[in-house]
């Protein structure tokens, strides 16, 4: 039974959800079969591992029907009924999470029952509640459309066709929902085309973009439209930097009108725009990235369930150090350490504090941190070894550097957690770093080449080597070689 859809689904349940399922199954409103209640109890005891011995069909059957001969058909029926109960429990949980769906279903029921007074009171309650809702995302306009549509259906049902007070808002909310959803989906289509090799059809997008541009005054106060419209402009016309400037103004103005997850996604488009500009050689956008990160932190948008993702922690430290915002960056490292997930906290904090000390040239403190912790994450481990290599290189510590290069080479060869691409990139890096350092020490030089020609030769080799990690740093070290 461990390979059934039922067990696969229950493996995703938290302990709290299993308790909720047990209560649900024992409620006579949802289930009156004692055998299913007992079956659920057995499954709860086997949660979360559901080992083969605990959920073997014959074992479960004997617990439910002691002494009776095993009947596979009956057992399959029990599993099917139990799966249906689990699905119904999930539906109930989703309804509890989304009050708008519950309200919509209630209005439908009241309309069908012809409860006019109750129906109209409930509509007023819903509208009053929405007036205090700060969010203005596509879901808000969809829910408004459903409400106005329900009221329109109610009027039609009761012969009030002449009273069309809500027909216009019904259509207006539908238009805003469609436009915002269409623009949002189009942004994601362009984004995915940049990640996976797939081409999408952008039906009506050009026409809608022209329409919104022509009617901008009408839509300027609807963030669900103007923000995604502006994102699309940055994606379709990245050379027009004015599009990005308008986008960041809109983000600062409207970020609180979206759920944190969607606000984060909108900021991600701005961040990606800046990254592409930096990769194209426009370092001015590094300050823009730093500004965006600070805005995300100040508005609480970067946090997920109260925790800061470690990659943002690292990116913010990197940006702060590159801009030499050292005081702010140090405070950030210490302040947001507690916001990291416990399982990554030690590695992430140690690595990023070491990176801070490296950038501020406090090499002794960086070395102490890097050698004092065993990094469990492969990315931190590779980064830590690279940082040590750079420190020994900068400090001209010949013996530690050559020893590390050899240990790094063996590590790459033997560690199975390192991907093939990573293995090649870092192997090429240490090979080139070794060559550059020996050139720097005047070892292994080709006498017939002048220092300038030696630099050109190394630069060509670095640029011709793919993949190679930290190529910019390697090129910088070549430029530092003196005659």
Contact 300, 262 (CB under 8 A): no
> What is the three-class DSSP state of 295?
helix
Residue length, the chain? 483
- pLDDT(483) > 60: no
**In which region does residue 114 sit, left (phi positive, over 0), alpha (psi from -120 to 50) or beta (all else)?**
left
**239, 413, 473 from 422: Cα distances, Å:** 33, 11, 17
Give pLDDT tens digits for 299-310.
999 988 889 999
Q: Which of 224-228, 341-345, 455-459 has the highest mean pLDDT?
A: 224-228
- Give the Cα separation of 304 and 342 in Å (integer): 14
Give pLDDT tens digits for 401-424.
999 999 999 999 999 999 999 999
Enter the tokens of residue 162: 């002449």
Go through 163-199 and write b for each residue having 16 or more CB atoms within 10 A of its CB, e for each that does not. eeebbebbeebbebbebbbbbbebbebbeeeeeeeee
Q: Average pLDDT, stretch 336-347?
A: 94
Residue 162 — pLDDT band, cuts 50, 70, 90?
low
Closest by alpha carbon to 282, among 270, 273, 291?
273
Enter the tokens of residue 197: 């090799």
Residue 21 — pLDDT band, cuts 50, 70, 90?
very high
- pLDDT(448) > 60: no
**Unique residue bearing structure tokens 């079969």:** 33
> Which residues lie below 8 Å from residue 13, measured CB to CB, with a gap of 6+?
21, 47, 48
Residue 99 — pLDDT band, cuts 50, 70, 90?
confident
Residue with the bigger pLDDT between 248 and 2: it is 248
Give pLDDT tens digits for 278-324.
888 898 999 999 999 999 999 999 988 889 999 999 999 999 999 99
Phi and psi angles of residue 278, each rounded to the nearest 5 degrees, phi first? -65, -45
pLDDT for 42: 95
> Which residues lie below 8 Å from residue 54, measured CB to CB, with a gap of 6+?
42, 45, 46
Contact 412, 426 (CB under 8 A): yes
Q: Average pLDDT, stretch 196-211?
A: 93
- Give the Cα separation of 185 and 398 in Å (integer): 55
Contact 263, 255 (CB under 8 A): yes
Q: What is the DSSP letter of 304?
A: B
pLDDT for 444: 47
Percent of the chain whose predicted confidence (pLDDT) is above 90 = 80
pLDDT for 362: 97
Give pLDDT tens digits for 262-271.
999 999 999 9
**In which region does residue 305 sit, left (phi positive, over 0), alpha (psi from -120 to 50) or beta (all else)?**
left
Query: Comparing 143-152, 207-216, 392-401, 446-455, which segment has the lowest mean pLDDT?
Result: 446-455
Enter the tokens of residue 392: 């020994």
Closest by alpha carbon to 433, among 461, 460, 393?
393
Q: Average pLDDT, stretch 267-276?
A: 95
Q: Average pLDDT, stretch 4-21?
A: 96
- Give the Cα separation of 10 and 478 in Å (integer): 58
pLDDT for 440: 85
Q: Average pLDDT, stretch 335-362?
A: 95
Q: Average pLDDT, stretch 85-105?
A: 93
Enter the tokens of residue 426: 């870092």
- pLDDT(211) > 90: yes
- Give the Cα separation of 159 and 153 in Å (integer): 10
- pLDDT(382) > 70: yes
Query: Comparing 126-135, 137-146, 351-360, 437-446, which segment has the lowest mean pLDDT?
Result: 437-446
- Give the Cα separation of 439 and 393 in Å (integer): 12
pLDDT for 54: 81
Q: Average pLDDT, stretch 159-181?
A: 86
pLDDT for 446: 52
DSSP conformation letters of 344-376: HHHHHHHHHHHHHHHHTT-HHHHHHHHHH----
Closest by alpha carbon to 469, among 385, 347, 396?
385
Give the number of other CB atoms < 10 A from CB of residue 234.
Answer: 23
């Amino acid at each position: 039974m461990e390979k059934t859809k039922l067990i696969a689904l229950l493996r995703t349940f938290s302990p709290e959800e299993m308790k909720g399922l047990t209560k649900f199954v024992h409620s006579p409103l949802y289930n009156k079969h004692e055998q299913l209640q007992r079956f659920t109890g057995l499954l709860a005891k086997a949660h979360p591992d559901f080992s083969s011995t605990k959920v073997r069909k014959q074992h479960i059957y004997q617990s439910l029907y002691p002494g009776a001969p095993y009947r596979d058909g009956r057992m399959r029926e029990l599993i099917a009924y139990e799966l249906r109960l689990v699905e119904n429990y999930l539906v109930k949980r989703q309804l509890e999470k989304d009050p708008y769906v519950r309200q919509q279903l209630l209005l439908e029921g009241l309309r069908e029952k012809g409860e006019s007074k109750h129906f109209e009171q409930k509509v007023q309650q819903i509208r009053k509640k929405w007036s205090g809702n700060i969010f203005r995302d596509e879901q808000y306009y969809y829910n408004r459309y459903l409400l106005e549509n329900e009221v329109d259906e109610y009027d039609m049902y009761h012969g009030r066709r002449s009273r069309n007070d809500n027909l216009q808002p019904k259509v207006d909310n539908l238009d805003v929902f469609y436009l915002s959803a269409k623009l949002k989906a189009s942004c994601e289509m362009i984004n995915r085309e940049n990640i996976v090799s797939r081409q999408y059809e952008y039906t009506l997008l050009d026409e809608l973009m022209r329409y919104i541009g022509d009617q901008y005054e009408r839509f300027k106060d609807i963030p669900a439209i103007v923000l995604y419209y502006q994102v699309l402009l940055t994606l379709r016309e990245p050379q027009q930097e004015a599009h990005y400037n308008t986008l960041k103004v809109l983000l600062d103005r409207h970020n609180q009108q979206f759920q944190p997850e969607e606000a984060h996604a909108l900021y991600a488009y701005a961040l990606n725009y800046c990254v592409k500009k930096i990769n194209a050689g426009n370092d001015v956008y590094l300050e823009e990235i730093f500004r965006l990160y600070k805005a995300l932190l100040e508005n609480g948008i970067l946090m997920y369930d109260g925790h800061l993702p470690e990659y943002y922690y690292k990116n913010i430290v990197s940006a702060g150090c590159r801009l030499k915002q050292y005081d702010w960056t140090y405070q950030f490292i210490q302040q947001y350490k507690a916001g990291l997930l416990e399982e990554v906290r030690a590695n992430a904090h140690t690595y990023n504090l070491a990176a801070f000390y490296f950038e501020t040239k406090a090499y002794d403190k960086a070395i102490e941190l890097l050698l004092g912790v065993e990094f469990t994450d492969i990315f931190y481990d590779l980064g830590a070894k690279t940082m040590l290599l750079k420190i020994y290189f900068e400090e001209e510590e010949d013996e530690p550097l050559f020893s590390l290069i050899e240990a790094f080479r063996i590590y790459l060869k033997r560690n199975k957690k390192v991907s093939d691409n990573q293995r090649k990139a870092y192997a090429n890096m240490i090979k080139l770093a070794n060559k550059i350092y020996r050139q720097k020490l005047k070892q292994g030089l080709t006498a017939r080449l002048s220092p300038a020609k030696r630099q050109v030769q190394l630069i060509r080799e670095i640029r011709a080597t793919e993949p190679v990690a930290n190529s910019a740093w390697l090129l910088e070290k070549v430029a530092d070689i003196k005659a």
